[in-house]
Structure 1
Amino acid sequence: MASLADLTPPIALGALDGRYRPAVAGLVDHLSEPALNRTRTHVEIEWLIHLTDRQVVPGVRQFTDAEKAALRAIVTDFGAAEIAEMAETEKVTQHDVKAVEYFLKKRLAQIAPDEADAGLAELIHFCCTSEDINNLSYALMVQGAVRDVWLPRATALVEALATMASDLRDLPLLAHTHGQPATPTTMGKELAVLTRRLQRQLARIEDAEFLGKLNGATGTYGAHLAAVPGADWQDISESFVEGLGLTWNPLTTQIESHDWQAELYADMARFNRVLHNLCTDVWTYISMGYFAQVRGQGTVGSSTMPHKVNPIRFENAEANLEVSNALLDVLAATLVQSRLQRDLTDSSMQRNIGVAVGHSLLAIDNATRGLAGLDAAPEAMARDLDANWEVLGEPVQSAMRALGAQGVPGMEEPYERLKELTRGRRIGQSELVEFVKGLGLPADVEARLAAMTPQTYIGIAPELVDHLD
């Protein structure tokens, strides 16, 4: 039997790079291994330009505008050839960041070939430990992935859900607390609850901080001061990190502490969990007949039962949200730990960020497509409401309580009397109206309660949807 591992192009081992790649391809520019090397290249080049622009090392010239443009073009033109070259270099160095350094030294020799400029190459990776480059690179990569890819897709999902909630704001729905018939609401209000929960998590993620540091092997600027004792290294570091669009962390060990990552992943995991709740609720509403899945899209619902359209979008989303959260949780728990001044557990762990975000993105894609394929079924909701007049026991006994508190006679034990009428058996409109008319209620209260139906007993549910605005 031929080995599938030997086939070219290589066959993906993971589902994200195989079956589901179209849904997550946007993350490759941010969270893949080549993206990491490209971002490292960007950070190294900007550090070199920063050092020379600030003339930190005495006697070192500044780059011309043309030379800066040529250096930055290394990043913008970074592609297959550069990926392959860097991989070959790493086979020799056995060190990924050192391979980036050597790669750039070769490029700099082409951009500034004069013998007088030969020393400029020594300012590549100047006074840096690998983590100075890596922490900034990961911060930029995660920032880009979240802001440019994940947030737009998550926001579009929540906006679609908000529109759906608004459209269905007035549609009466029998609630099911503990899985049992309960006080009616509206479908729009229930979707609005989930929408608002998701909106809160999006707001937290949108406000996330992305921290970075550049302060040497143990965070003391030891090598920096030894090399150039007269420089204000804290100011140089802060201006560089903030110039990259990150928040400067002034106090670290060899590594940036990754607490910001743990905070971000916890918020993303919470978004995932609320979305999971949405998927299970919508799945249940579909099973109850409250939503019909749009047909005629060429899909096969079941391989053997032609009548079925399975809610696979929501089931797929559930599974991928669970995978994403397993990874986000372990990332958040592990990345905040580091033995003494440094260990390398974070290096391996951070290479899974793309997988964690990818499964969340795939779930968002499936949930978005699932929602777009739904039609509300008011007739099914109305049937369940008509079959459960006993839910009106709540407003009747509540009105009796209010009257009893005002001294109206005959209102004793309202809960117990409604329990006797409704517990464990079905009642219809006639039984309820007969009961109401036998209570001796004031005429206006009797008329109001006798006219009430499960469809109209929805409180201010439609108005509550307005809180989404």
Structure 2
Amino acid sequence: MTTTSYQTPLNSRYSSKEMQFNFSDQKKFSTWRKLWLLLAESEKELGLNITDEQLDEMRQNIDKIDFQLAAEEEKKLRHDVMAHVHTFGACCPKAAPIIHLGATSCYVGDNTDLIQLRDGIDILLPKVARCISRLAKFADQYKDLPTLGFTHLQPAQLTTVGKRACLWIQELVMDEQNLRETRNNLRFRGVKGTTGTQASFLQLFEGEHDKVKQLDAKVTAKAGFQRSYAVTGQTYTRKVDADVICRLSSLGATAHKIATDIRLLASRKEIEEPFESTQIGSSAMAYKRNPMRCERICSLARHLISLVQSPLNTAAVQWMERTLDDSANRRITLAEGFLTADAVLQTLQNVTEGMVVYPKVIGRHIANELPFMATENFIMAMVKAGGDRQECHEQIRVLSHQAGDKVKMEGMDNDLIERIKANPYFAPIHAELDKLMDPATFVGRAPQQVEEFLTGEVYPILEPYKGQLEGSVALAV
């Protein structure tokens, strides 16, 4: 590894080797060569004068790329595709005359990009499923554990730890569906020529339109796509890139929300991300247990969310059949989008595999707030015992404010229950207070909702990923 030039942290610190390879030069340029081979094979099948010897020569040199020669050619020609045409031809002298026959640069460039987008989504989808799977197990385990709900980041009615996790899962399920739909909707650019009219191929086949259509269909199928875009300019529409990165940015928003919730809960000491025995939380404060993994998720997700502006702006300014002001931009944005999404999911899986819950702390926080939340129950119980609703409400109001002052002004524990027990007005329900204060009676259908959600929506989503959900993630740093 070089230490004297910039290397993206997405490679050196965060993303997986498989995603790094998907956007590597080796994958890119060997795919170019495969596409030249598929084109030549299909042209031969449709009657052009291409020999088996030429095709065999191309097959034998798909992965044997002289990158130094290619760099020298590009410096001389100022054209990356022609540099690689010459480099491929140098090791395939017999095939050199028919390499890139009838094609424009975007035949290899755009079609390879589409293959990388497809393969990148195929790498991400099982990782989304693994995060869903880990959180589903967590939600089921803690479906009955009451915890304070929050609205406006203020204590609200109780929910359960498992039900809150289902809110996270629901968004990941939406991301899985969005990515799967995007992957299934991806098409091949196909064999379209310089401005998308297929004029060069129509000339090669001497005006036989049907053979040109067959050529497009053959190459598309050989490349693993069911369909190609019916019309293109020189490029496939850059709205495709925008749609893909939008889906990844949306995944970033999901991950940011999950990690933020965990960070907030960690500050309350209710839930923590994994913390290793030798891990240091602060160089100065030795006691610290900072949620660095969730902070990393938020940091990377923020970058991922921001990337969507670039392909949208690119799609907006593609003049007529194309301009080249998309090229340098896309080299960065597409790869970074997938590498960042990959890094986010790797880290999120690591977090969800080792979250620690502290029920006693959660219970103490409930105890501090539940007396106020239970006041409606007290009023209903008093009315059933023959009391007057309005009078009871006033009694509760006065005692609640007194208890609130103790908490806010003196930093004392909430003593509302003790005040109610000491007040003879509430004697008819003194024996019921403990039952009326049982946190489990305040969570509504949360446990049942968890079971219904997991059974009805989550487990069916995970079914196609059987065999891909095993294994854990160990972070590099």
What interval of TM-score do these two structures reach, taking the shorter chain for normalisation? 0.7 to 0.9
Q: Which moved more, 1:293-302 or 1:423-432?
A: 423-432
Q: How many correspondences in the alignment?
A: 435
1:338/1:48 Cα in 2 relative to 1: closer, same or farther (>3 Å)? same
Which of the numbers 338, 353, 359 marks the counterpart of 1:372?
A: 353
Alpha-carbon distance in structure 1 between the residues aligned to 2:379 and 2:98: 81
Q: Which runs of 5+ in 1 are unaligned?
A: 1-6, 114-119
Is 1:234 the counterpart of 2:222? The answer is: no
Aligned position for 1:268: 248
1:293/1:264 Cα in 2 relative to 1: closer, same or farther (>3 Å)? closer
Matches for 1:256-295 after TM superposition, within 5 Å? 256-295=236-275
Is 1:99 the counterpart of 2:83? The answer is: yes
- Once the two structures are TM-superposed, the CA of residue 432 in structure 1 deviates from its matched residue by 6.0
Is 1:144 the counterpart of 2:119? The answer is: yes
TM-score, with structure 2 as normaliser: 0.81
Aligned position for 2:133: 159
Which of the numbers 329, 342, 347 marks the counterpart of 1:361?
A: 342
Alpha-carbon distance in structure 1 between the residues aligned to 2:367 and 2:299: 36
Percentage identity across paired residues of the two chains? 20
1:202/1:61 Cα in 2 relative to 1: closer, same or farther (>3 Å)? same
Alpha-carbon distance in structure 1 between the residues aligned to 2:84 and 2:328: 18
Is 1:392 the counterpart of 2:374? The answer is: yes
Alpha-carbon distance in structure 2 between the residues aligned to 1:162 and 1:367: 14
Q: Cα deviations across residues 258-278 of structure 1 (Å, max 9, x unaligned)?
A: 323222211111111011000
Which of the numbers 12, 17, 21 marks the counterpart of 2:11?
A: 17
- CA contact 2:382–2:428 (8 Å) conserved in 1: no
Counterpart of 1:86 in structure 2: which amino acid? A
3-state secondary structure, aligned to 2:208: coil
Counterpart of 2:28 in structure 1: which amino acid? L
Alpha-carbon distance in structure 2 between the residues aligned to 1:40 and 1:210: 19
Q: Which runs of 5+ in 2 are unaligned?
A: 406-413, 456-477
Which of the numbers 194, 199, 212 marks the counterpart of 1:222?
A: 199
Is 1:212 the counterpart of 2:177? The answer is: no
Counterpart of 1:95 in structure 2: which amino acid? H
Tell me which of the two structures has the higher relative contact order, counting C-alpha pairs closer than 8 angstroms and 6 or more residues apart. 2
Is 1:71 the counterpart of 2:58? The answer is: yes
3-state secondary structure, aligned to 1:463: helix
1:436/1:99 Cα in 2 relative to 1: closer, same or farther (>3 Å)? farther
Aligned position for 2:454: 468
3-state secondary structure, aligned to 1:91: helix
- CA contact 1:172–1:456 (8 Å) conserved in 2: no
3-state secondary structure, aligned to 2:269: coil
- Once the two structures are TM-superposed, the CA of residue 374 in structure 1 deviates from its matched residue by 2.6
Aligned position for 2:458: none
Which of the numbers 292, 309, 317 marks the counterpart of 1:329?
A: 309
Counterpart of 1:223 in structure 2: which amino acid? S
Alpha-carbon distance in structure 1 between the residues aligned to 2:393 and 2:309: 46
Aligned position for 2:34: 42
1:413/1:272 Cα in 2 relative to 1: closer, same or farther (>3 Å)? farther
Which of the numbers 83, 102, 126 marks the counterpart of 1:127?
A: 102
Is 1:313 the counterpart of 2:305? The answer is: no
- Once the two structures are TM-superposed, the CA of residue 452 in structure 1 deviates from its matched residue by 3.9
Which of the numbers 11, 23, 40 marks the counterpart of 1:31?
A: 23
- Once the two structures are TM-superposed, the CA of residue 169 in structure 1 deviates from its matched residue by 1.2
Counterpart of 1:240 in structure 2: which amino acid? V
Counterpart of 2:350 in structure 1: which amino acid? R
Counterpart of 2:224 in structure 1: which amino acid? G
Q: Which moved more, 1:359-368 or 1:339-348?
A: 359-368
- Once the two structures are TM-superposed, the CA of residue 184 in structure 1 deviates from its matched residue by 0.6
Aligned position for 2:462: none
1:295/1:243 Cα in 2 relative to 1: closer, same or farther (>3 Å)? closer
- Once the two structures are TM-superposed, the CA of residue 175 in structure 1 deviates from its matched residue by 1.2
Aligned position for 1:342: 322
1:90/1:287 Cα in 2 relative to 1: closer, same or farther (>3 Å)? same
3-state secondary structure, aligned to 2:300: helix
- CA contact 1:269–1:329 (8 Å) conserved in 2: no
- CA contact 2:238–2:311 (8 Å) conserved in 1: no
- Once the two structures are TM-superposed, the CA of residue 453 in structure 1 deviates from its matched residue by 2.5
Counterpart of 1:468 in structure 2: which amino acid? L
TM-score, with structure 1 as normaliser: 0.82
Alpha-carbon distance in structure 1 between the residues aligned to 2:420 and 2:245: 52
Counterpart of 1:451 in structure 2: which amino acid? L
Which of the numbers 89, 96, 118 marks the counterpart of 2:73?
A: 89
Aligned position for 2:224: 245
Is 1:299 the counterpart of 2:279? The answer is: yes
Alpha-carbon distance in structure 1 between the residues aligned to 2:116 and 2:158: 47
